[in-house]
Structure 1
Amino acid sequence: MEIVQATKNDLSELCIFYEKVCEQQKFDKYSPDWHWGQYPCRDDLEYAIANRLFLLGRIDGKIAAAGILSDGDDDAYNHADWKETKDVCVLHLFAVSPEFRGQGIASSMLSAIKSSARKAIHLDVIEGNDSAGKLYRKNGFALVKQTELFYDDIGEKGAELYEWVSPKKAVETNRLYLRRLNEHDAMRIYETWANDPEVTRYLTWDAHESVDVTKKIIAEWMRAYEDEKCCRYGICLKETDGLIGMIDVVGHEDEVPVIGYVLGRRYWGKGYMTEAFKGFSDYLLEEGFPEIRIEAEEQNLASNRVIMKCGFDFVGKKTMPVKGRDVIINKYRKKA
């Protein structure tokens, strides 16, 4: 299943998708809580495309699943005892096409949605929709409260409030936050840093020749995310939510995590990498690692400065082949 962000070009197809979902609800055991033309309606979808994170899952070009993430909690949820009340997204209109039900599509789509969220996702399930509650619990959501909610199209109804909290707390700094990457980041990654030979000059991999190369690599990352311990994050600007770089644990040496990072060239010289690297390295130490390490090519003066600014100690040099040439690598470490 290909996960993409909805655009205005998808609006007509989305209207058909949700109309079919609403029609199918008439045959479900619980009372239908969506009524096409009232909620949702074309205006709802158009607004969500323009103002929210609207994700689609496509199979053979068809919309198989969809869901909308909005930033900030819902006012109707304020009375619940949530574990997380900051950096919250609310999931709206999560649905699977009747044509694709029973194929595990819902769980795959939820995995992609969780990768796009910040710290937590909140949502409600109408009373009696046992299959939805079971699905969310299966995918790591916890039932927080049974309550009454008012819905514009059906009035006051019993509902269950669910919460999913990322097993890895979000790393935040003054200007940045880190989040997991996902498939719809491909073009942004490609255009911001992966296709730039100047950015990859001191890295172990070459600039990507096309966005298809980027997509294949992201697919590997998505499989790696199945292990909740995977530490690979996009670096995002708080002001715009723009993805500007990446930082991750690239491997382990003597069971000690080794960090790697990359930043889009247009964001160099602004202190972003120092800010992200310090936040990420402090986070790893707080998680209980007694030591973390990083390496940088000796000629990469800017990266060496970032590392030393963040309190890492120089521990030695080594020579290794990189892209067909022998280079001198500076080795650093930081202890808790």
Structure 2
Amino acid sequence: MADIRIETERLIVRRFEEKDMGALYLLLKDETVNTFLPWLPVKNMEETRDFYEKQVRDKTYYYAICLREKDEPIGYVKADTDDGYDFGYALRKEFWHKGFVTEASRILVEQLRKDGIPYITATHDRNNPRSGGVMQRIGMKYCYSYEELWQPKNFLVTFRMYQLNLDGQEDRVYKKYWNPYERHFIEKGI
């Protein structure tokens, strides 16, 4: 597991710990924050602990974003280790629009580069362009869009797929989201 703890002028990016369950609950229960996340908001601490055990605890690259002065999570940044190397993030809404996710994402991207991860991918709902802005600010490039009946939320979403090749193979495009969806396309002007 990549146990990094990196401090910047404003942030600490570190592993989640048991003591962080209350802060994780505040993030995961918020319906506004969870609008564009691939799960439903949690209802209680038991669901938060279950989420932690299944989604966070043993993941190689799943880090808490903490304000430096409190060292308490206000969000997370993560990258999966399967063939998609899916990159993602979330932040409590009272901390939105301050550059915290971009700052933490850059830290994780550098760690992934050092660890030899070849590329990362990320998707965002077309109705959430600010997430695409984070992807662009960390160097990710738009590749294509596709429509998916999104589960578990069960509604149709147009996702935009971004990619950052970390190993210099600039022509590589991850097609796992393109191939299975009948409606896929490249949007102009992104």
User: What amino acid sits opposite 1:232 in the alignment?
Assistant: Y
Q: Does 1:220 align with 2:54?
A: yes
Residues 182, 218 of structure 1: 8 Å contact kept = no
SS of the aligned residue for 1:266 comes to: helix
In 2, the alpha carbon distance for the partners of 1:222 and 1:194 equals 12
What is the root-mean-square deviation of aligned Cα atoms in Å? 1.9
Corresponding residue for residue 4 of structure 2:
169
1:331 Cα offset (Å): 0.5
Report how far residue 256 of structure 1 moved: 4.3
Structure that is richer in helix per residue: 1
Indicate yes or no: 2:76 matched with 1:246.
Answer: yes
In structure 2, what is the Cα distance between the partners aligned to 1:298 and 1:171?
32
Contact 1:173 1:276 in 2 (8 A): no
* Match of residue 165 from structure 2: 335
> Which AA in structure 2 matches 1:189?
L
**What TM-score results when the alignment is normalised by the length of structure 1?**
0.46
Deviation, structure 1 residue 221: 4.9
1:188 corresponds to which letter in structure 2?
A
Q: Does residue 311 in structure 1 map to residue 139 in structure 2? A: yes
Q: In the TM superposition, what are the counterparts of 1:130-145 in structure 2 within 5 Å?
A: none
Q: TM-score of the superposition, structure 2-length normalised?
A: 0.78
Q: Does 1:293 align with 2:127?
A: no
Q: Compared with structure 1, are the counterparts of its residues 172 and 256 closer, same or farther at alpha carbon in structure 2 (3 Å cutoff)? A: farther
- AA of the residue aligned to 2:123: E
Measure how far apart 1:251 and its partner are: 5.2
* 1:195 alignment partner in structure 2: 29
Alignment map for 1:270-281 (pairs within 5 Å): 270-281=98-109
3-state SS of the aligned residue for 2:3? Answer: coil
Match of 1:20 in 2: none
Q: Which runs of 4+ in 1 moved over 4 A?
A: none
**What are the equivalent positions in structure 2 for 1:32-181 lying under 5 Å apart?**
168-181=3-16
**Structure 2 unpaired stretches of 5+:** 167-190
Instruction: State the Cα deviation string for residues 175-228 of structure 1 (Å, max 9, x = none).
Output: 21221112221111112x111100000111111111221012223357625xxx
Q: Return closer, same or farther for 1:256/1:173 CA change in 2, 3 Å cut-off.
A: farther
Q: Deviations over 1:84-126 (max 9, x none)?
A: xxxxxxxxxxxxxxxxxxxxxxxxxxxxxxxxxxxxxxxxxxx
> Is 1:263 the equivalent of 2:98?
no
Higher RCO (CA 8 Å, separation ≥ 6 residues)? 2
Distance 1:293 1:209, change over 3 A: same
Indicate the SS of the match to 1:257. coil
Structure 1 counterpart of 2:120, one-letter code: I
For residue 257 of structure 1, what is the amino acid of its counterpart?
A: Y
Q: 1:326 to 1:209 in 2, by over 3 A?
A: same
Identify unmatched segments of 5+ residues in structure 1: 1-165
Q: Deviations over 1:21-44 (max 9, x none)?
A: xxxxxxxxxxxxxxxxxxxxxxxx
> Are the equivalent residues in 1 in contact too, given 2:20–2:72 (CA < 8 A)?
no
Aligned to 2:44: 210
Assess if the C-alpha contact under 8 Å between 2:11 and 2:65 holds in 1.
yes
Q: Quick one: distance in 2 between partners of 1:305 and 1:250?
A: 21
In 1, the alpha carbon distance for the partners of 2:119 and 2:142 equals 13
Q: Which amino acid aligns with 1:312?
A: M
The whole-number CA distance in structure 2 between the counterparts of 1:290 and 1:189 is 30
Q: Distance in 1 between matches of 2:7 and 2:164?
A: 20
Answer with 1 or 2: which has the greater Rg. Answer: 1
Seen in structure 2, the aligned counterparts of structure 1 residues 195 and 330 have a Cα distance that, compared at 3 Å, is same
1:312–1:204 CA distance, 2 compared to 1 (3 A): same
Is contact 1:235–1:276 with CA below 8 Å preserved after alignment? yes
2:17 to 182, 185, 197: 182
